[in-house]
């Protein structure tokens, strides 16, 4: 049984090369998944959650998986069932091939139902039918964690993350919140669901941004190990500085034994309390910063936690992937 995971963390200043589709953090690994999540809210208080994956299950395909992914209108209450805004995202897994367009400093993932334009400093995620358009402005550096081969980890993995303040429209409503660049890398021929982070290590993943009354930004992203595994890599964005840490700790409060209602986070000598009041799926929870040790006034915040409990592990991922075994060359 894995008890403590050896890993390395660092941050990198974004360059144009980071957004090329063939960029990797090391020569021996390849792309193993990209995610384009959005957590945004409108002036009337309505929150939206959008999530889609590229090459995370089958290389070269983008997918929406119900009920975890899609584009949803979140509702108050951890027991609430969010409504899918668009019917095609509410059915069975839907995969589309995507193409890469490299034009100067912009790398575009183009597919029939939309496109994502990635570049240094900004990202644009749009629907082909104009139902949503979100533009993100990068506010953090790039965080990278490397999990090398070790006992209990048979394939090395890298994970990369950065935060973007988002504005745009969803369903005709003006919204703001955040996007993030969320990317995994592994040995050639593998995708995220083959790698140890998903299969064996993580028990929770969290990202967030907050805005101070003076206009400054904060936020971060981190992992926590499952079943007592010591695994706490992540980073904190504070006053324009992105700092990586390997010793992040949390304390959770659960409603009805599995629904995440509160999270107390210790990171970089600071403490944040996150209050979760909405659910996007059986594993996704959303809310705001309820308190911070710095004492600075936080006027806006958006928090997202993936807290699967025992609902994601190697056996479950293998069962899901079995449906696509021929497509995956397995």
318 φ/ψ angles, rounded to the nearest 5 degrees:
-65, -40
- Separation of alpha carbons 213 and 100, rounded Å: 40
pLDDT at 90: 77
Using 70 as the pLDDT threshold, list the residues of the chain that sit under it: 1, 67
pLDDT at 92: 75
pLDDT at 101: 96
pLDDT at 330: 74
Model pTM score: 0.96
DSSP state of 65: -
pLDDT at 86: 87
pLDDT at 68: 76
Residues contacting residue 248 through CB under 8 Å, at least 6 positions apart: 222, 224, 232, 233, 234, 265, 266, 267
pLDDT at 268: 96
């Amino acid at each position: 049984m894995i008890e403590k995971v050896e890993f390395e963390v660092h941050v990198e200043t974004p360059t144009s090369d980071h957004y090329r589709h063939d960029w990797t953090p090391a020569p021996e690994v390849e792309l193993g998944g990209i995610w384009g999540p959005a957590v945004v809210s409108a002036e009337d208080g309505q929150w939206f959650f959008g999530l889609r994956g590229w090459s995370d299950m089958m290389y070269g395909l983008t997918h929406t998986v119900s009920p975890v992914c899609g584009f949803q209108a979140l509702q108050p209450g951890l027991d609430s069932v969010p409504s899918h805004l668009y019917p095609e995202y509410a059915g069975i897994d839907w995969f589309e091939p995507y193409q890469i367009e490299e034009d100067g400093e912009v790398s575009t993932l183009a597919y029939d139902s939309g496109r994502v334009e990635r570049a240094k400093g900004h990202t644009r995620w749009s629907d082909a039918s104009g139902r949503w358009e979100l533009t993100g402005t990068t506010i953090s550096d790039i965080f990278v964690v490397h999990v090398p081969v070790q006992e209990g980890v048979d394939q090395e993995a890298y994970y990369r993350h950065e935060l973007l303040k988002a504005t745009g429209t969803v369903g005709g409503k003006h919204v703001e919140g955040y996007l993030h660049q969320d990317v995994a890398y592994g040995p050639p021929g593998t995708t995220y669901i083959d790698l140890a982070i998903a299969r064996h290590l993580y028990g929770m993943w969290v990202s967030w941004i907050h805005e101070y009354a003076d206009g400054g930004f904060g936020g971060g992203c981190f992992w926590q190990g499952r079943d007592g595994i010591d695994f706490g890599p992540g980073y904190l964005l504070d006053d324009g500085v992105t700092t990586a840490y390997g010793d992040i700790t949390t304390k959770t409060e659960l409603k009805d034994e599995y629904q995440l209602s509160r999270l107390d986070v210790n990171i970089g000598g600071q403490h944040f309390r996150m209050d979760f009041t909405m659910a996007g799926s059986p594993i996704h929870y959303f809310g705001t910063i309820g308190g911070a040790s710095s004492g600075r006034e936080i006027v806006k915040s958006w928090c997202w936690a993936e807290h699967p409990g025992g609902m994601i592990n190697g056996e479950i991922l293998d069962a899901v992937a079995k449906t696509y075994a021929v497509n995956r060359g397995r």
